[in-house]
Amino acid sequence: MKDPAKRVAALKAGGVDYIDKPFYPEELVTRVKTHVEIHRLKLENIDRISDQQALLHVLCHDLVNPIFAAHSLLCLRRDTRKVDDMVIERVIGCCQNALDIIVNVRAEEAPLVGKDKPFEGELVSVEEAFNESANVLGQRFEEKNVELVIDCAANPQLSIKRVILVQNILNNLLTNALKFSYPKNTVSLRSYSGKRKGESVCIIEVKDTGIGMPPEILNAVFDREAKVSRKGTSSEKGTGFGMPLVKRYVELSGGTVAVESVEEQAQNGEGEHGTTVKLVFPC
């Protein structure tokens, strides 16, 4: 077609290029290679944007816990007009947790912009990680009158970034369990030893007896694009980013994550209901 208007119409309809007849084989191959390269760069750009969005979600989502804890402690001090060294230390610890999250996100972002910043783990005590998480979230559990029970039967040294285990994984799981629990309910955080393909593993389990999840949410709970969320038992709002972030960081650390849940309505108020999240890490 020699009519320029028709070529323009074809491009507007979705065509990306054209060649004139008679065409030369070398020109055809060169044009195809060019468009393959453009497509490859487009896919790389999509992946990079996706990774950067995930890190942005970490900042927006996981900074809430330490900031909320510090804010609650300072409000408590204002209302009671009393403050002791323990409160000061807890506030300082919460602020340090927030800084740790920011530093970790910056370290993860570095490879995305071409810097050489490898992902490195450290030896972390499971029991110490449990206690640190409970220290950050303790005030929230107290305010909702939900008991947090910690059972650290296995206390191995896991090779994982401390900030990731505490802030990105445990805190997300515990805040979810808290959100969907009723006052006077119990949330348990425990660890125990196991075997996976003949190798020793540490299993970390977060269990609640709350409202549970319907199948449509359970099936999409790790899907970052689905953004499944609903209000908690006290109308707490959710973002839908928590569980995809947990899965991302667990797998980056060499572990696996699985969720089981029974919705309260499915039992008509009878029998057991709630959610259990099980993490498996090599140790």
Q: What's the pLDDT score for residue 170?
A: 95
What confidence category does residue 115 fall into, taking pLDDT thresholds of 50, 70 and 90? very low
* Boundaries of every domain in the chain: 47-113+132-282
What confidence category does residue 68 fall into, taking pLDDT thresholds of 50, 70 and 90? confident
**Residue 95: exposure state from Cβ atoms within 10 A (0-12, 13-18, ≥19):** middle
Beta carbons of 37 and 56 less than 8 angstroms apart: no
Confidence check: pLDDT of 223 > 90: no
**Residue 263: exposure state from Cβ atoms within 10 A (0-12, 13-18, ≥19):** middle
Mean residue pLDDT across the chain: 83
CATH class of 47-113+132-282: alpha beta
Give the tokens for residue 8. Answer: 């323009």
Q: Report yes or no on whether pTM surpasses 0.75.
A: no
Backbone angles phi and psi of 83, in degrees to 5: -145, 140
Give the tokens for residue 132. Answer: 């640190």
pLDDT tens digit sequence for 164-174: 898 889 998 99
Backbone angles phi and psi of 161, in degrees to 5: -65, 130
106-136 in b/e form (b: 16+ CB < 10 A) is ebbbeeeeeeeeeeeeeebbbeebbebbbbb
Return the higher-pLDDT residue of 59 and 66: 66
Q: What's the pLDDT score for residue 43?
A: 87
Task: Calculate what percentage of the chain has a pLDDT beyond 90.
Answer: 35
170 DSSP assignment = I
What confidence category does residue 102 fall into, taking pLDDT thresholds of 50, 70 and 90? confident
Return the higher-pLDDT residue of 115 and 21: 21
Confidence check: pLDDT of 230 > 70: yes
Q: What's the pLDDT score for residue 65?
A: 74
Confidence check: pLDDT of 199 > 60: yes
